[in-house]
Amino acid sequence: MPISHIMASGLTGMRAAGDLVARMQFSEDMRINEAKDYVSKKLGVEAIDLGDEYVMREIREELDIGVLTSVPGCAKGIASKMNIEKLLDIEINCCDKFREITG
Amino acid sequence: MANEYFVRMGDGERISMTKEQIIADLQEGSADAADLGDIPELSGDELDKLADIIMDSNRIVSVEPGMEIPVTHDIGSIRIDGDQGNSGVGIPASRLVGCMMHERGFGADTMELGHIDYSFKPVKPVIAQECQTMESCQQNMTVPLLYGAMPNLGLYYTPDGPFENPGDLMKAFKINEARESIEHAGDHATRDITWIMQHLQKVGCDGVNFDTIGAAGDGDVYASLYAMKALREEFPNIYIEAGMAGECTLGMHGELEFEGNVLAGLWPHEQVPLAEEAGANMFGPVCNTNTSKSSAWNLARSVTFTKAAVEASNIPCHVDMGMGVGGIPMFETPPIDAVTRASKAMVEIAGVDGI
């Protein structure tokens, strides 16, 4: 059932830019259009591109913010989130903890 | 059959209806929500658009390009390794693997970690295990990862918990004692939820999803709102998602309040301001599915309630659209035609910020 929703209406997570839009909704209480505008400006794309896998694949790899397939050398997990923090100008809790631990 | 369309009953059964029957059900469903919630019915244009979505000849429908929204997830990876009681598919997999499958395999926009019981109370004895798993998941995942659980006040009453069951007390006409029991249970739940999330935030958790708030009535809502308030005060950046259990808050107690507002009898558009005030930054409005009515009736009713909540809200609304809510049939594997129609209608007519 969740996959039916994702196919019908979803931004499809890391396939495109769904995780980035969701982060802005949670981080800054942004409604959907505000969150999409914010993320698209940060990425330098149109809002319609945020759900476009073709556009977002290259951008995600270039910015090293996590890609769906397992590309050797690309940032994964917490490393990708540390790049997302810088891109979106937000703080992510686990990245703060990582910095605390690593000094 | 030439002039009839396939639709679903609220239990998922396929039926056929004429255009006139569908429109009549749409009007009736919307009017029912408007009457109960004292909110506007859907306009003629909105009902026409809803009818077009329902009568689309394709099995799967979708939103127009550019209208996509984030889809947040509840139940955690229990969907993968859980049993039928949680609608799990029983694939043996760790919770980390389950979370990563959602992120990399299914295109989830957010994910959550949850305990197999999926209630807050049983997490207490295994909090170190939950912290360890959360830490591993956060190190390996990119999408926002919350901790999800149900407030589930029922676990605080006998025979499962320390307080006498208010249902038993009410049957004995001990109304004041029943209310006291609900108040005690609510305070304990607030304390437990706050304590659990304090530990999880310390290991890098993004936040918390309160799933099915109000399932045990207004005491459940009381406990959740005060837990949100405490968490927001202690962790200003925590992500808090407030997902409701039902369209109307049941007044099991009847007089419980949050910051001077009586909780019993609230509809989605009245619930969201309280969630905001408590510190939530995402709200999940609910409209329950009536299995004896058509999907046209249920969807119109759900869209009407949800649209009013979205308009009343200052925070993103991710409408609850699991089995048996949000116009989705009450069935474990809801038909794809029904799910995608409801999904499109919520985005394009109710204007939700996510699902």
ipTM rounded to 2 decimals? 0.98
The model's pLDDT over A18-60, given as tens digits with 9 standing for 90+, comes to 999 999 999 999 999 999 999 999 999 999 999 999 999 999 9
Q: Where do the DSSP E strands lie in chain B?
A: 4-8, 14-18, 111-113, 145-149, 207-213, 239-244, 257-258, 261-262, 282-284
User: pLDDT grade, residue B74 (50/70/90)?
Assistant: confident
Q: Give which of B58, B64, B138, B142 to mutate to test A binding, by max A Cβ within 10 Å.
A: B142
- Residues of B within 8 A of A4 (CB-CB) are 60, 334, 336, 339-340, 343
Closest residue to A48, CB basis, from B65, B207, B241:
B65
B110 HSE (CA, 13 A, CB side): 33
pTM: 0.97
Closest residue to A26, CB basis, from B106, B281, B322:
B281
d(CA B40, CA B270): 14
Alpha carbon dihedral A29, A30, A32, A35, in 10-degree steps, equals -130
For residue B87, pLDDT beyond 90: no
Q: A22, B63: Cβ pair inside 8 Å?
A: no
d(CA B338, CA B7): 8
The model's pLDDT over B142-174, given as tens digits with 9 standing for 90+, comes to 999 999 999 999 999 999 999 999 999 999 999
Q: A25, B316: Cβ pair inside 8 Å?
A: yes
d(CA A62, CA A48): 19
Closest residue to A97, CB basis, from B203, B346, B354:
B203
User: pLDDT grade, residue B1 (50/70/90)?
Assistant: low
Position B96 scores a pLDDT of 97
Q: Give which of B54, B60, B69 to mutate to test A binding, by max A Cβ within 10 Å.
A: B69
User: pLDDT grade, residue B86 (50/70/90)?
Assistant: confident
Continuous segment of H or E residues that includes residue B22 = helix B19-37
For residue B19, pLDDT beyond 70: yes
Q: Please compute the mean of the pLDDT values over residues A86-95 and round it to a whole number.
A: 98
H-type alpha helices, A10-52: 18-28, 32-43
User: pLDDT grade, residue B293 (50/70/90)?
Assistant: very high
Q: A6, B108: Cβ pair inside 8 Å?
A: yes
Q: Please compute the mean of the pLDDT values over residues B125-146 and round it to a whole number.
A: 98
Closest residue to B340, CB basis, from A8, A15, A77:
A8
Q: B340, A15: Cβ pair inside 8 Å?
A: no
Here the tokens at position A1 are 């059932």
The mean pLDDT of chain B is 96
* Contact pairs from chain A to chain B, CB under 8 Å: 179
Position B75 scores a pLDDT of 87
Q: B316, A1: Cβ pair inside 8 Å?
A: no
User: pLDDT grade, residue B2 (50/70/90)?
Assistant: low
Give the position of tokens 């004895």.
Answer: B125
For residue B52, pLDDT beyond 80: yes
Chain-centre distance for alpha carbon B242: 8
**B205 with B237: CB under 8 angstroms?**
no
Position B340 scores a pLDDT of 98
B61 HSE (CA, 13 A, CB side): 22
Q: Give which of A32, A40, A60, A68 to mutate to test B binding, by max B Cβ within 10 Å.
A: A32
The model's pLDDT over A2-23, given as tens digits with 9 standing for 90+, comes to 899 999 999 999 999 999 999 9
- Residues of A within 8 A of B205 (CB-CB) are 93-94
Position A1 scores a pLDDT of 85
Collect all residues with Cβ–Cβ distance below 8 Å to B87 and sequence separation of at least 6: B75, B79, B323, B332
Q: A1, B328: Cβ pair inside 8 Å?
A: yes
Q: A13, B353: Cβ pair inside 8 Å?
A: no
Collect all residues with Cβ–Cβ distance below 8 Å to B58 and sequence separation of at least 6: none
User: pLDDT grade, residue B85 (50/70/90)?
Assistant: confident
The residues in A 43-72 lying below 8 A from B, measured between CB atoms, are: 47-48, 50-51, 65-66, 68
**What 8-state DSSP symbol labels residue B322?**
S
- The residue of chain B nearest to residue A66, with distances taken between CA atoms, is B142
**B33 with B287: CB under 8 angstroms?**
yes
Give the position of tokens 């043996």.
Answer: B92
- The residue of chain B nearest to residue A32, with distances taken between CA atoms, is B353
For residue A62, pLDDT beyond 70: yes
